[in-house]
A and B are shown apart, each in its own frame.
Chain A
Amino acid sequence: MTAKIKPAKGAPYARILGVGGYRPTRVVPNEEILKHIDSSDEWIRSRSGIATRHWAGPDETVAEMSLEASGKAVADAGISPDQINAVVISTVSHFKQTPSIATEIADRLGAGRAAAFDINAGCAGFGYGLTLAKGMVTEGSAEHVLVLGTERLSDLTDLTDRSTAFLFGDGAGAVVVGPSEEPGIGPSIWGSEGDKRDVIAQTVPWDAYRDGEVEKFPAIRQEGQTVFRWAVFEMAKVAQEALDAAGVGPEDLDVFIPHQANLRIVDSMVKTLRLPESVAVARDVESTGNTSAASIPLAMERMLATGQAKSGDTALVIGFGAGLVYAATVVTLP
């Protein structure tokens, strides 16, 4: 017989309750990058907007950075670590694949037996995690979910590649998603375009390096112009879809936090979306570089800390990157 199965009881809606970030202590100016490539500070700034980035030291491992960001996010949410029921971590630069880094963070944070797993969605990882968390909270499989993006991209940077040597940074950014009486996370517009999987990618698989097929350790490379066109024009459409799906017009929007890939992409997206000047735009890439899945929560934390954004503001967030994958949604800031 087919037994009647009792469903879980979730919260009516979900929202972001708290945010936290960790930036490594060492700030790396463009001058240091210029020791490795034939370029100039002016060239790097004009192509990317990046003036400095943070690179992790030996003690600032993926786990340590993650733990710092997580602790801050949990404290900001006003809950205790044991109230976290699931830990979702997006990273492409945690070199020990098994077990997932999420299990270590759940344990060391004090989240007890929380469900824990890693996802790989490149620079869209935060939006992917947010989408999963919203589902878990409203479906009832978790009351509070820690979503974290964490990267040590300096480990996957080819310092002799003049198109990417200056681009990447390290850091971790986390949010806690929990129950809400009002919708605090809008519909997710997410997807993949796997036919473009070679546009941003690791140079070679790990085993090619192990087997001596290449001399250089794997790094992330990309086709800059193709990424730029896709990000500025295709992702602006995705961002607009997220606004439309949430029923939020440009005049209702307070904050725009796109993935901090490159300042030129950010500025061109603002232009393509025709966002009013009243919208505060995240430009954290200038001092943080591109930190992949960590960039949106890091920028969110900084905007709230500096007063560029405030709790309760309506923000459009969009991540996009290797896959190619993307995820956009409208959120209420914690």
Chain B
Amino acid sequence: MAATQEEIVSGLAEIVNEIAGIPAEDVELDKSFTDDLDVDSLSMVEVVVAAEEKFNVKIPDDDVKNLKTVKDAADYILAHQG
């Protein structure tokens, strides 16, 4: 069953916490991965790959650069999840 936006944000929070050590509660829709959450470009790749597995979605490299905020990522996953 497809995940809701709320479930996706909560899942992303777990992933960001594990990869970058950011408290899960800081991962909110309007936060920027690089500017607010200190997720650099390489950690972002790890976040994306973990999100692909968790939500059964493919996120090509060309699309990764468009995922600036948690909302961008959640919306992308919501639209593309299998």
Q: A and B, one complex?
A: yes
**Which residue of B is nearest A230, CB measured?**
B61
> A148 CB to closest chain B CB, in angstroms?
31
- Report yes or no: A225 in contact with B41, Cβ–Cβ below 8 A: yes
Mark contacts of A192-235 with chain B using CB atoms, 8 A cut-off: 1 yes-contact digit, 0 otherwise.
00000000000000000000000000000001111011001100
Question: Which residues of the other chain, B, contact A232 by a CB distance below 8 angstroms?
Answer: 45-46, 49
Rounded to whole angstroms, the CA-CA distance of A268 and B40 in the bound complex is: 14
**How many residue-residue contacts, CB under 8 A, span A and B?**
27
- Report yes or no: A229 in contact with B49, Cβ–Cβ below 8 A: yes
Is A47 an interface position by the 8 A CB rule?
yes
Is B29 an interface position by the 8 A CB rule?
no
> Chain A CB within 10 Å — which of B41, B42, B44, B48 has the most?
B42
- Report yes or no: B61 in contact with A229, Cβ–Cβ below 8 A: yes
Question: Which residues of the other chain, B, contact A229 by a CB distance below 8 angstroms?
Answer: 45, 48-49, 61
- Report yes or no: B49 in contact with A225, Cβ–Cβ below 8 A: no
Is B64 an interface position by the 8 A CB rule?
yes
- Report yes or no: B64 in contact with A225, Cβ–Cβ below 8 A: yes
Rounded to whole angstroms, the CA-CA distance of A229 and B49 in the bound complex is: 8
Is A302 an interface position by the 8 A CB rule?
no
Question: Which residues of the other chain, B, contact A264 by a CB distance below 8 angstroms?
Answer: 42
Is A46 an interface position by the 8 A CB rule?
yes
- Report yes or no: A47 in contact with B61, Cβ–Cβ below 8 A: no
Question: Which residues of the other chain, A, contact B64 by a CB distance below 8 angstroms?
Answer: 225
Question: Which residues of the other chain, A, contact B40 by a CB distance below 8 angstroms?
Answer: 46-47
Rounded to whole angstroms, the CA-CA distance of A25 and B42 in the bound complex is: 31
Given A47-B42, A228-B42, A264-B42, also A223-B49 (CB < 8 A): no
Question: Which residues of the other chain, A, contact B44 by a CB distance below 8 angstroms?
Answer: 225
- Report yes or no: A223 in contact with B61, Cβ–Cβ below 8 A: yes
Question: Which residues of the other chain, A, contact B46 by a CB distance below 8 angstroms?
Answer: 232, 268
> A118 CB to closest chain B CB, in angstroms?
32
**Other contacts beyond A225-B41, A228-B42, A268-B46: 19, CB < 8 A:** A46-B40, A47-B41, A47-B42, A223-B61, A224-B41, A224-B42, A225-B42, A225-B44, A225-B45, A225-B61, A225-B64, A225-B65, A226-B61, A228-B45, A229-B48, A229-B49, A232-B49, A233-B49, A264-B42
Rounded to whole angstroms, the CA-CA distance of A289 and B65 in the bound complex is: 27
Rounded to whole angstroms, the CA-CA distance of A304 and B64 in the bound complex is: 40
Question: Which residues of the other chain, B, contact A233 by a CB distance below 8 angstroms?
Answer: 49
Which residues of chain A in 232-272 are interfacial with respect to chain B, using CB atoms and an 8 Å cutoff? 232-233, 264, 268
**Which residue of B is nearest A224, CB measured?**
B41
